[in-house]
Structures are given as structure tokens and as C-alpha cells.
């Protein structure tokens, strides 16, 4: 039994470490078995093995829960077998309970993290006021610096009226944003209209 516990422990810890490292490095990986996905594609720490099953059943069999079960089952089993004189059946029972507890912990942690996720809201730039850091010459492109949600940003900028140059340092308003270019109008001119 020592060998089984050692293998389970090493596989559980090893796969968890590789998966965690891949998450930090933003690598995409996964294994495919007969149309079912085992692994993850960035984002979470493991996804459901049975994607066609219910969410509850799928959450019991995901990479994180399985590896946590193996690590705890193997680690506790190895520790008990080496330090106590309990019968093998008791050691396996206690190790199995520890494995299920570890798996349940990671499932609850993943659910708690998933509940806190919020979709990224699109940024509305039309009407944002900024300053030109590079002037816009007639028919050309300059650069605007503006602040959105407390973050300073910059973007290429063109005059809404292509025939009209706008000097550096002019306060402008974004009237539309298309393909990474902010189309702007002078703030004073817009107020006058």
C-alpha cells in the first residue's frame, strides 16, 4: 500500500503544481477523451470533466478536485502507514476521508471564486475629454491622453473635421472611436455649438 499512497501523492501534487504553473504563465492545455474535456483553458483552476452532465456532477469530477483528492489520499495514507500500526482498512478509510475532504474544499473554493467573477463592462469613450500630446495636422493623426475610471490612457487621434488641424495641448472631446483611433473635436468649439 505504501507504493500506491506514494504514487497517488506524487501524481496529485505534481499535476496540481503543473496546472498552477500553467495558470500563472497563461498557458492553454488540456486532454481530450472521447469528446469530453479534462483540463482547462486558462481562467480557472480546472474545469468539469463531464461537460454534458449537470453542473453539480461535473463539479465533483474536475482536475482540481481529483488532484486534491489524490494528494490528500496519498499523503495521509502514507503518513498513517509509516507512523502508526493501524490496520490497512482503517488507513485506507481515513485516507479516503481526507481525500474527499480535500476535494470538497477545492470545489467550495472554486465556487466561491466563481461567484465573485463579474463580466467586464465595455468602456464608453464617446464624450470623454482629453488633451492632445501630439498635434493633429491637416488630414493626419495625432495622440490624445485621457482618463477613464482613474486610469490614464492614450490613443491615436484624428480630427472629426479632417481638414482642420488641432495644435498640441488642446483640450478635445472624443466624438467616436473606430479601429483604435479616437475622432475628436475641440472642447471649446463643441461647447460653442
Per-residue DSSP letters for 31-56?
Answer: EEETTEEEEEESSSS--BS-TTS-HH
pTM over 0.75: no
CA 103/CA 147 separation, integer angstroms: 44
The whole-number pLDDT of residue 164 equals 82
Q: Which residues contact 108 (CB under 8 A, 6 or more apart)?
A: none
CA 74/CA 94 separation, integer angstroms: 11
* Helix (H), strand (E), coil (C) string for 121-170: CCCCCCCCEEEEEECECCCCCEEEEEEECCEEEEEEEEECCCCCCECCCC
Q: Which residues contact 186 (CB under 8 A, 6 or more apart)?
A: 166, 170, 171, 172, 173
Q: How many structural domains is the chain composed of?
A: 2
Confidence of residue 62 (pLDDT cuts 50, 70, 90): confident
pLDDT at residue 61 is higher than 70: no
The whole-number pLDDT of residue 51 equals 41
Q: Which of 87, 116, 145 is the last residue of a domain?
A: 116
Same domain, 112 and 133: no
Same domain, 104 and 134: no
Q: Which of 55-59, 96-100, 182-186 has the lowest mean pLDDT?
A: 55-59
Q: Which of 116, 137, 161 is the last residue of a domain?
A: 116
**Closest residue by Cα to residue 128 from 111, 115, 144:** 144
Same domain, 83 and 135: no
Domain region containing 104: 2-116
Same domain, 111 and 136: no
Amino acid at each position: 500500500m505504501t507504493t500506491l499512497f506514494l504514487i497517488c501523492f506524487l501524481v496529485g501534487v505534481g499535476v496540481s503544481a503543473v496546472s498552477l504553473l500553467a495558470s500563472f504563465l497563461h498557458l492553454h492545455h488540456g486532454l481530450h477523451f472521447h469528446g469530453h474535456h479534462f483540463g482547462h483553458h486558462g481562467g480557472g483552476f480546472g474545469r468539469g470533466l463531464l461537460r454534458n452532465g449537470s453542473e453539480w456532477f461535473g463539479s465533483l469530477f474536475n482536475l482540481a478536485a481529483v488532484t486534491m483528492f489524490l494528494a490528500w489520499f496519498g499523503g495521509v495514507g502514507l503518513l498513517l502507514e509509516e507512523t502508526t500500526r493501524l490496520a490497512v482498512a482503517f488507513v485506507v478509510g481515513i485516507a479516503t476521508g481526507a481525500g474527499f475532504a480535500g476535494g470538497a474544499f477545492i470545489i467550495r473554493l472554486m465556487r466561491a471564486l466563481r461567484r465573485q467573477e463579474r463580466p467586464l463592462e465595455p468602456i464608453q469613450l464617446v464624450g470623454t475629454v482629453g488633451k492632445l500630446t501630439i498635434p493633429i495636422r491637416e488630414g493626419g493623426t495625432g495622440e490624445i491622453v485621457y482618463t477613464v475610471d482613474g486610469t490614464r490612457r492614450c490613443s491615436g487621434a484624428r480630427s472629426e473635421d479632417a481638414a482642420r488641424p488641432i495644435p498640441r495641448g488642446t483640450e478635445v472631446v472624443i466624438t467616436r472611436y473606430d479601429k483604435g483611433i479616437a475622432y475628436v473635436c475641440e472642447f471649446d468649439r463643441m461647447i460653442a455649438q
